[in-house]
C-alpha cells in the first residue's frame, strides 16, 4: 500500500527532471549554446604593421620595430632573488636596481611589473630561453614606432600614441579600436588611414584557463602602406642642427613642383618618447613646456612678417602704376605723421625702387603704402596667399590674419595703421609656410604652386607640381622686384649681404618684425635660388631671434651645407 505513494513521488520527480531537461535543452538551448561558444571562443586581434614614412631617397624617417619588454608577474614569482640576479646579469644592471624598479612599480600581485623596456633582441632571446627556470618572468613583444632621426623634422612626421577617449568616440565607426594606436599630428595623422592598414584577427578556441587549444579561423592583417615624402633627411638634419639653440622655423621647398624638401620647427621633441613607457616624464615636459615644443611653427605659428611684406606692397605699387622703378623717396631716418615718428633702420637718403627694396627702407614703403592705400595692400596680401590656407598636406594649418581696413575692429582705420601695414607690422600675421609660398610665387612669375609633402602612398603617386593659381603680372614688374631682391643679397648695402655666395645666386628679403611686449624682434629671411641644381625657395624664421642678420647667417649656413652635399 505504502509502496504506491513511493511510485507516485518517484514518477512525479522524474517528470520534473524531464521537464527540466526540456526547458534547459530545448527552450533555453540557443541561449546556452551562445554561452558555450563565448566560453571557449576568443577573438585575438592581429595588429597590422604600420607603414613606414620615407624621405625622398627612400631613407626611413619612421619605422616599426619589434620591441621586447621584460616583465615580472609578482604572484607567480618563486625565487625572487635568484630571478633578479639572473635578470641583472643579462640586462647588465645591478640586482639592487632591479629590486628598486620592482618595488617602485609593483601595484597588485596579478599585475605584471615592467622591469625593462625595449631590451635588445639577443638579450630578449636569452631571457626567453630561460623563462621556464623562473616562473613569473615574462618577455613581451610589442611593435614600437621608431624615428631614426629623433627630433629632426618631428613636427612634420608627428608621432604615434594610444587613442584618446575623444578620438575613439569620433572614429570608432571607421574601424578604430580602443586598444589601437593612431597617428597624432604631422604625416602620421594626415595619412593615418593609409599608414595603419587593416587589422586582422585570430579566432581561437581556449580551454578553461584561457590557453589556446587551436586556431579556428584567421583574418589576415593587411599591413599599412609606406608614405614616401618629399623630405630630404639630410636637409632635415642640417636644419635641425642649425636650429638647435633657437626657436623658429626652416622651410625648404622645391621651386619647380612645390615639394617640401625640408621643414623644421624648433624647439622640437623626440617622437620616440611617445612609444616608450619610460619616457613619460619627457612627454609631460612636452605638454607643459612654455616654449611649446609640440607646436609646429612652420604651419601653425602666426607672426608679423615685417619687411618681408614689402614684396607684395612693391608689386601692388608697380602694378597699379602708382610708383615706377624710378620713383624716388628721400629717407631722413623716419617718417613723421602728426606728432608721431615712424622710424626707419637707417637714414638712407634718396632711394629708388631697387634700393628701397634692397635696403629695406621703411620710409620708401611708408610713402608707397600711403599712395596705394591699405585696401590694395590687403588685396595683394591675399593674392600672394597671406591669410589664406596653403592647403599643404599637414593637419592643423593656421590661416594667419590680414586686416580689413574697411571693417577694422572698433576704431577707424588710421593713417598710422596704413604705415604699419605697409612694412608688415600691426595686425598682419602670417605663417612661415605662407611666406615661402609667396616668394615662390614671385620666383615662378606669378604661377602659385601647391606645396606638398607626400609624394607617393604605397604604389600610388600623389599629385605634384600643381599650379594652384596664376597671378597675371607683367614680366617687367616681376623683373623689377627680383632686381630688388637680388640687390638685398648682392647689392651694395643690401640687408641680406650675409647670405651672399659667390657660386650661388640667391635672391631674397629680410624682415625684422616687432613682437609684442618688450621681447626681442622676430628675424626673417626668405629667399630663393633660381639657378641652383635643385631650384629652391626657402625661409628661415627665428622667433624672438633679434635682427634679421641672425636669420641671414642661418640661411647662409643652410645654403652652404646644402651646396656641400651637392643638393644645390
Partner 1 sequence: MLSDLKKAMWVSLMIIIVSGLLALFSASFQNSRVTQEVFYNQLVFSILGVVAIFFLGRVDHRRYYDLAYIAYGINVFLLVAIFLFGYYALGAKRWIEIFGFNFQPSEFMKLSLILALARYYTDHKPKVSFYNPWSRPAIVSDFFIPFAMTAAPAILIFKQPDLGTAILLVGIFFVMAFAAGVSTKHLGGFLGVCLLAMPILWHMMKPYQKDRLLVFLNPNVDPLGAGYTIIQSKIAIGSGQIFGKGWLSGTQNQLNFLPERHTDFIFSVIGEEWGFVGSVIVVVCFYLLILSGLRAVEQTKEKFSHLAGAGIVAIFALQVIINIGMVLGLCPIVGITLPFVSYGRSSFLVCILMFGFLLSLARQRKMF
Site string for partner 1, 254-293 (x = CB under 8 A): ----------------------------------------
Q: Are 216 and 187 in contact (CB under 8 A)?
A: no
CA angle 141, 146, 147 (to 5 degrees): 175
Q: By CB under 8 A, tell whether 22 contacts partner 1.
A: yes
Instruction: Identify which of residues 32 and 287 has a Cβ nearer to partner 1 in the complex.
Output: 32
How many C-alpha atoms does 197 have within 13 Å on its Cβ side?
18
- Would you give the DSSP letter of residue 226? P
Q: Are 488 and 334 in contact (CB under 8 A)?
A: no
3-state SS, 381-426, equals: HHHCCCCCCCCCCCCCCCCCECCCCCCCCCCCCCHHHHHHHHCCCC
Stretch that binds partner 1, among 19-27, 68-76, 181-189, 483-491 (CB under 8 A): 19-27
Say which residue the cell 577573438 belongs to.
Answer: 43
Q: Which of 142, 188, 206, 225 binds partner 1 (CB under 8 A)?
A: 206
Q: By CB under 8 A, tell whether 26 contacts partner 1.
A: yes
- Report the nearest approach of partner 1 to the CB of residue 41 (Å): 9
Q: By CB under 8 A, tell whether 217 contacts partner 1.
A: no
Q: Which of 63, 205, 256, 483 binds partner 1 (CB under 8 A)?
A: 205
- Report the nearest approach of partner 1 to the CB of residue 399 (Å): 60
Q: Which of 100, 213, 350, 467 binds partner 1 (CB under 8 A)?
A: 213
- Would you give the DSSP letter of residue 25? I
| Parallel/antiparallel/unpaired status of strands 159-162 and 137-146 | unpaired
β-sheet bridge partners, residue 449: 467
Q: By CB under 8 A, tell whether 14 contacts partner 1.
A: yes
Instruction: Identify which of residues 209 and 411 has a Cβ nearer to partner 1 in the complex.
Output: 209
Instruction: Identify which of residues 24 and 320 has a Cβ nearer to partner 1 in the complex.
Output: 24
Instruction: Identify which of residues 40 and 221 has a Cβ nearer to partner 1 in the complex.
Output: 40
Stretch that binds partner 1, among 5-13, 366-374, 455-463, 521-529 (CB under 8 A): 5-13
Q: By CB under 8 A, tell whether 110 contacts partner 1.
A: no
- Report the nearest approach of partner 1 to the CB of residue 72 (Å): 23
Q: By CB under 8 A, tell whether 39 contacts partner 1.
A: yes
Burial degree of 50 (CB within 10 A; 0-12, 13-18, 19+) = buried
Distance separating alpha carbons of residues 111 and 134, to the nearest angstrom:
17
Q: Reduced to 3 states, what is the DSSP secondary structure of residue 265?
A: strand
Q: By CB under 8 A, tell whether 43 contacts partner 1.
A: no
Report residue 363 as a C-alpha cell. 620710409
Stretch that binds partner 1, among 24-32, 179-187, 396-404, 532-540 (CB under 8 A): 24-32
Q: Which long-range contacts (C-beta less than 8 Å, at least 24 apart) are formed by 94-98?
A: none
Count of beta carbons in the 10 Å neighbourhood of residue 531: 9
Count of beta carbons in the 10 Å neighbourhood of residue 553: 18
- Report the nearest approach of partner 1 to the CB of residue 211 (Å): 9
- Report the nearest approach of partner 1 to the CB of residue 34 (Å): 8
Instruction: Identify which of residues 23 and 544 has a Cβ nearer to partner 1 in the complex.
Output: 23
Q: Reduced to 3 states, what is the DSSP secondary structure of residue 553?
A: helix
- Report the nearest approach of partner 1 to the CB of residue 207 (Å): 4
Q: Which of 57, 207, 324, 476 binds partner 1 (CB under 8 A)?
A: 207
Length of the chain: 568
Phi-psi sector, 321: left (phi>0), alpha (psi -120 to 50), beta:
left
3-state SS, 90-128, equals: HHCCCHHHHHHHHHHHCCCCCCCEEEEEEECHHHHHHHH
Q: By CB under 8 A, tell whether 75 contacts partner 1.
A: no
Closest to 358 (Cα-Cα) out of 220, 496, 266, 255:
496
How far out from the chain centre does Cα 130 lie?
43
Q: By CB under 8 A, tell whether 8 contacts partner 1.
A: no
* Burial per residue of 213-230, b for 16 or more beta-carbon CB atoms within 10 angstroms, e otherwise: eeeeeeeebebbbbbbbb
Question: By CB under 8 A, what part of segment 391-420 binds partner 1?
Answer: none
Number of residues that bind partner 1 (CB under 8 A): 34
Q: Which of 7, 321, 411, 460 binds partner 1 (CB under 8 A)?
A: 7
Instruction: Identify which of residues 66 and 213 has a Cβ nearer to partner 1 in the complex.
Output: 213
Give the helix/strand (H/E) hosting 284: helix 280-288
Stretch that binds partner 1, among 30-38, 215-223, 256-264, 317-325 (CB under 8 A): 30-38
- Report the nearest approach of partner 1 to the CB of residue 204 (Å): 11
Instruction: Identify which of residues 11 and 476 has a Cβ nearer to partner 1 in the complex.
Output: 11
Instruction: Identify which of residues 24 and 164 has a Cβ nearer to partner 1 in the complex.
Output: 24
| Parallel/antiparallel/unpaired status of strands 41-46 and 467-470 | unpaired
- Report the nearest approach of partner 1 to the CB of residue 209 (Å): 7
Distance separating alpha carbons of residues 119 and 281, to the nearest angstrom:
20
Q: By CB under 8 A, tell whether 20 contacts partner 1.
A: yes
Distance separating alpha carbons of residues 388 and 399, to the nearest angstrom:
5
Report residue 364 as a C-alpha cell. 620708401
Q: By CB under 8 A, tell whether 341 contacts partner 1.
A: no
Q: By CB under 8 A, tell whether 108 contacts partner 1.
A: no
- Report the nearest approach of partner 1 to the CB of residue 203 (Å): 14
- Report the nearest approach of partner 1 to the CB of residue 33 (Å): 4
Q: Which of 103, 107, 165, 208 binds partner 1 (CB under 8 A)?
A: 208
- Report the nearest approach of partner 1 to the CB of residue 132 (Å): 21
β-sheet bridge partners, residue 203: 43, 217
Report residue 107 as a C-alpha cell. 601595484
Residues of the shown chain interacting with partner 1 in the complex, contacts defined by CB under 8 A: 2-3, 6-7, 10-11, 13-14, 16-18, 20-22, 24-26, 28-33, 35-37, 39-40, 205-209, 213
Amino acid at each position: 500500500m505504502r509502496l504506491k505513494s513511493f511510485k507516485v513521488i518517484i514518477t512525479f520527480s522524474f517528470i520534473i527532471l524531464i521537464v527540466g531537461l526540456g526547458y534547459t535543452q530545448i527552450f533555453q538551448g540557443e541561449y546556452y549554446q551562445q554561452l558555450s561558444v563565448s566560453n571557449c571562443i576568443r577573438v585575438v586581434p592581429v595588429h597590422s604593421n604600420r607603414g613606414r614614412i620615407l624621405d625622398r631617397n627612400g631613407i626611413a624617417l619612421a619605422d616599426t620595430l619589434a620591441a621586447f619588454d621584460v616583465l615580472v608577474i609578482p604572484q607567480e614569482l618563486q625565487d625572487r632573488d635568484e630571478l633578479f640576479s639572473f635578470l641583472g646579469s643579462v640586462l647588465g644592471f645591478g640586482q639592487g636596481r632591479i629590486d628598486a624598479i620592482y618595488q617602485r612599480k609593483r601595484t597588485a600581485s596579478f599585475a605584471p611589473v615592467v622591469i625593462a623596456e625595449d631590451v635588445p633582441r639577443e638579450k630578449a632571446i636569452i631571457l626567453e630561453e630561460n623563462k621556464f627556470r623562473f616562473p613569473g618572468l615574462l618577455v613581451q613583444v610589442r611593435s614600437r614606432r621608431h624615428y631614426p632621426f629623433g627630433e629632426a623634422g618631428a613636427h612634420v612626421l608627428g608621432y604615434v600614441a594610444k587613442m584618446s577617449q575623444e578620438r575613439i568616440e569620433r572614429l570608432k565607426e571607421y574601424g578604430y579600436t580602443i586598444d589601437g594606436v593612431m597617428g597624432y599630428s604631422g604625416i602620421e595623422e594626415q595619412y593615418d588611414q593609409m599608414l595603419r592598414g587593416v587589422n586582422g584577427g585570430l579566432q581561437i578556441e581556449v580551454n578553461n584557463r584561457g590557453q589556446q587549444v587551436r586556431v579556428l579561423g584567421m583574418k589576415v592583417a593587411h599591413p599599412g602602406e609606406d608614405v614616401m615624402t618629399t623630405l630630404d633627411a639630410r636637409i632635415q638634419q642640417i636644419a635641425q642642427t642649425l636650429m638647435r639653440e633657437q626657436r623658429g622655423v626652416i622651410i625648404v621647398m622645391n621651386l619647380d613642383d612645390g615639394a617640401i624638401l625640408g621643414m623644421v620647427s624648433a624647439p622640437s621633441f623626440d617622437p620616440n618618447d611617445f612609444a616608450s613607457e619610460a619616457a613619460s616624464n619627457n612627454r609631460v615636459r612636452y605638454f607643459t613646456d612654455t616654449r611649446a615644443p609640440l607646436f609646429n611653427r612652420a604651419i601653425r605659428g602666426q607672426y608679423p612678417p615685417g619687411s618681408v611684406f614689402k614684396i607684395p606692397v612693391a608689386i601692388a605699387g608697380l602694378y597699379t602704376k602708382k610708383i615706377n622703378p624710378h620713383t624716388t623717396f628721400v629717407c631722413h631716418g623716419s617718417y613723421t605723421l602728426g606728432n608721431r615718428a615712424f622710424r626707419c633702420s637707417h637714414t638712407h637718403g634718396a632711394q629708388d625702387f631697387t634700393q628701397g627694396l634692397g635696403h629695406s627702407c621703411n620710409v620708401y614703403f611708408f610713402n608707397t603704402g600711403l599712395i596705394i592705400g591699405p585696401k590694395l595692400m590687403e588685396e595683394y596680401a591675399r593674392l600672394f596667399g597671406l591669410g589664406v590656407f596653403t592647403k599643404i598636406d599637414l593637419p592643423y594649418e593656421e590661416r594667419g590674419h590680414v586686416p580689413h581696413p574697411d571693417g577694422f575692429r572698433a576704431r577707424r582705420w588710421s593713417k598710422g595703421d596704413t604705415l604699419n601695414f605697409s612694412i608688415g607690422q600691426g595686425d598682419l600675421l602670417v605663417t612661415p609656410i605662407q611666406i615661402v609660398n609667396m616668394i615662390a610665387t614671385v620666383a615662378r612669375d606669378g604661377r602659385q604652386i601647391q606645396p606638398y609633402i607626400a609624394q607617393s602612398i604605397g604604389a600610388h603617386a600623389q599629385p605634384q607640381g600643381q599650379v594652384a593659381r596664376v597671378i597675371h603680372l607683367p614680366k617687367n614688374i616681376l623683373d623689377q622686384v627680383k632686381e630688388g631682391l637680388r640687390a638685398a643679397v648682392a647689392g651694395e648695402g643690401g640687408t641680406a649681404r650675409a647670405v651672399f655666395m659667390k657660386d650661388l645666386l640667391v635672391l631674397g628679403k629680410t624682415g625684422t618684425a616687432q613682437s609684442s611686449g618688450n621681447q626681442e624682434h622676430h628675424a626673417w629671411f626668405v629667399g630663393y635660388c633660381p639657378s641652383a641644381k635643385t631650384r629652391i625657395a626657402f625661409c628661415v624664421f627665428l622667433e624672438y631671434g633679434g635682427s634679421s642678420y641672425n636669420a641671414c647667417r642661418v640661411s647662409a649656413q643652410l645654403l652652404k651645407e646644402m651646396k656641400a652635399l651637392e643638393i644645390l
